[in-house]
Chains A and B, each alone.
Chain A
Amino acid sequence: MSADFLYGIEVILNGLMAGVMYALVALGFVLIFKASGIFNFAQGVMALFAALTLVGIMEGQVPFSHLINEVFGTEVHHFGWHVPALLAIAITLFVMVAFAWAVQKFLFKHLVGQEPIILFMATIGLAYFLEGFGDLMWGSNIKTLNLGLPQGGSRVIEDMTAKLGGDDFYGFFIDKLDIVATGVAIVLVLSLICFSQFTKQGRAMRAVADDHQAALSVGISLNFIWVLVWSLAGLVALVAGVMWGAKSGVQFSLSLIALKALPVLMLGGFTSIPGAIVGGLIIGVGEKLFEYLIGPMVGGATENWFAYVLALAFLVFRPQGLFGEKIIERV
């Protein structure tokens, strides 16, 4: 096998891993869109907020310390303790559930029956709010998230594949974190599927996604389901935040992964969980391959837009995405 071909395979493998990370974010979108018809632009910021909260709790930061110090002239920054990771994750989950409840109670309860574009705008407002709130609470400096997840390239895989393509081929470079992320994503998706297929709440969730009014008339509480869905989206956001945060530090740019997830959604369809996964993989591989093959010819940095153009070209032929519900229009 020639070295170029092997490099291509390496690019594809890395693209698959990146695709899993995109799919993680896209999952949160799909969950909320399916259940409530809300296109939740705040998903990326939720991931950022979850990661910020997790780091803040683990390091024992005092929330709003900057503000408190400014108003009262004090100098508090840390409680001086370190919370173990598992407990911190539990507390963060609790925070995300509380957030889901608050969003439902103070925002979307008052917007029932509005047009989708209004709901979409409301989530953009929510994104702004949450971004400012997270910064106020935990400060806007870059933080490192240290959960003890493995980092760096995997030696084993590198040694195993070395020399495959002749003497100057050093083997595949695959980040261990990406492997962990893939595992976590698979577990997450499987448990989400199990939850929605085999539990009472999951069935109620699917019923709401199918038809709000019919679900309401058989006694399902829409309010509860929406809080549940937003909490699940919060959980997905936390996982995505942890993975991306461990990869590149917890900082503002984390919220931009929402923009990476949008083409994934378009490609896979807004209403399909498998679509989010498959779309993520296609986009991940596609953009890495394009950057590898065509990128050098046109000056590089094509990853910003390639996913969108791919999704756009795809949608022209299939307007509802790969797995989306068929769009039926009636007059």
Chain B
Amino acid sequence: MFYREAGDFKTSYEADSQTFPIAFDRYRYWFVLAVAFLVIPFVINDYWANALLIPFLIYAIAAIGLNILTGYCGQVSLGTGAFMAVGAYACYKLMTAFPEINILLHILLSGVVTAVVGAAFGLPSLRIKGFYLAVATLAAQFFLVWLFNKVPWFYNNSASGQISAPERFVFDIAVTGPNTKAWAAYLVCLVFVTLSAIVARNLTRGSMGRRWMAIRDMDIAAEIIGVNPLKAKLSAFAVSSFFVGISGALFFAVYLGAVEVGEVFGINKSFLVLFMIIIGGLGSIFGAFAGAAFLVCLPVVLKVIGVDLFGWPPDLVAHFQLVIIGLLIMFFLIKEPHGLAQLWRVAKEKLRLWPFPY
């Protein structure tokens, strides 16, 4: 009834090609942004921030990044964890080497560093395809993690081999370090998520995104119609790694504060982010958010039900968690291989016709 194009007359090309063609979607978008920026920071507490909101936002950036590479450009990557580590270590080195420069700039710069590294590891994609490439990206995963463990320069020769974020301020408010307030950390992440989503959305519907999708659908055919596979694939790797690097920097500096690379950025992280985009939906920015929200919430919900409600020991609940996550993944793949984003699309289609079926 209210969710349709009818009566919404576009009078300019800009209006015609906007992201949300339906008026209700635009209001919803501004409403969500308003709630996220103006309401949540005032009601947030440490538990909600650290257990749900901040990890959700950070994983959403990583999922957007991986979705650009895997969902839009069709190059399966299992090296996300390592690229997050690159972002984290770049951020750490920049923070300690140039303490007077704003931390937000450092986070952006660590994205740039990761983009360069990602493009370098994307080079084999010109020769190697499909599963061979997926396994090849594991080389990045293991090699980079090993490198960060073995070369003392990366962790400034600290005795523990860990990196820990020094305290940094934005407008005189601590955003990293032990004295960070939950709302400050949340807002930093939120700003980056919002910008990332807007940039990614507009990249993917522009000419660059179309080149990526042409490569994904069939790279030889794309090459024949004039898409340069070198540029398209490497730009996908670079842009994807840029976002993943930002998320890694945030994960280290804002969320955890101290990081041991093998534990935090191991191969499990790569799989986790891959799950997010598969469950959320490949080739969809909304899917990245949905998948991140789903997989961040699931363990928390299971833990609340298992430990607090039934009073089971945590190890038993942890085993159940694995079983349930595995079952859910299989169930989703059988029922809806295109992910939560597809459900959302179907719901919107239905809504456009509602309440009259034709």
Q: B-contacting residues of A (Cβ < 8 Å)? A: 39, 66-67, 70, 107, 110-111, 114-118, 120-122, 124-133, 135-136, 140, 259, 262-263, 265-266, 270, 298-302, 304-305, 308-309, 311-312, 315-316, 319-321, 327, 329-331
Residue numbers in B under 8 Å from A311 (CB-CB) = 135-136, 139
For the A-B complex with A118-B337, A331-B224 known, give 19 more contacts whose Cβ atoms are closer than 8 Å: A111-B334, A114-B337, A120-B134, A122-B333, A124-B275, A131-B322, A132-B324, A132-B326, A133-B326, A135-B319, A301-B149, A304-B146, A309-B143, A312-B139, A315-B132, A315-B136, A316-B127, A319-B127, A321-B132
* Chain A contact residues: helix, strand, loop or mixed: helix
In the complex, the 5 A-B pairs of residues with the closest C-beta atoms, listed nearest first: A129-B326, A132-B322, A125-B329, A128-B326, A308-B139
A-B contact pairs, 26 of them (CB 8 A): A67-B316, A70-B313, A107-B330, A111-B333, A114-B333, A114-B337, A115-B337, A118-B278, A124-B329, A127-B326, A132-B320, A136-B323, A259-B267, A262-B135, A266-B132, A270-B131, A299-B150, A301-B149, A304-B146, A308-B142, A311-B136, A315-B128, A316-B128, A319-B129, A319-B132, A331-B221
Judged by a CB distance under 8 angstroms, whether B43 is at the interface is no
Interface size in chain B (residues, C-beta < 8 A): 48
Bound CA–CA A305/B140 (angstroms) = 8
Residue numbers in A under 8 Å from B8 (CB-CB) = none
Bound CA–CA A295/B259 (angstroms) = 25
Residue numbers in A under 8 Å from B326 (CB-CB) = 125-133
Residue numbers in A under 8 Å from B164 (CB-CB) = none
Bound CA–CA A66/B143 (angstroms) = 39
B334 touches A128 (CB 8 A): no
Residue numbers in B under 8 Å from A70 (CB-CB) = 312-313, 316
Bound CA–CA A259/B145 (angstroms) = 15
* Chain B contact residues: helix, strand, loop or mixed: helix
CB B104 to nearest CB in A, in angstroms, measures 33
> Which of B146, B312, B321 touches A132 (beta carbons < 8 Å)?
B321
CB B190 to nearest CB in A, in angstroms, measures 30
Bound CA–CA A140/B327 (angstroms) = 20
Bound CA–CA A299/B124 (angstroms) = 27
Hey, what's the 0/1 contact readout for B91-135 against A, CB within 8 Å counting as 1? 000000000000000000000000000000000100111111011
> Which of A111, A121, A265 touches B135 (beta carbons < 8 Å)?
A265
A315 touches B127 (CB 8 A): yes
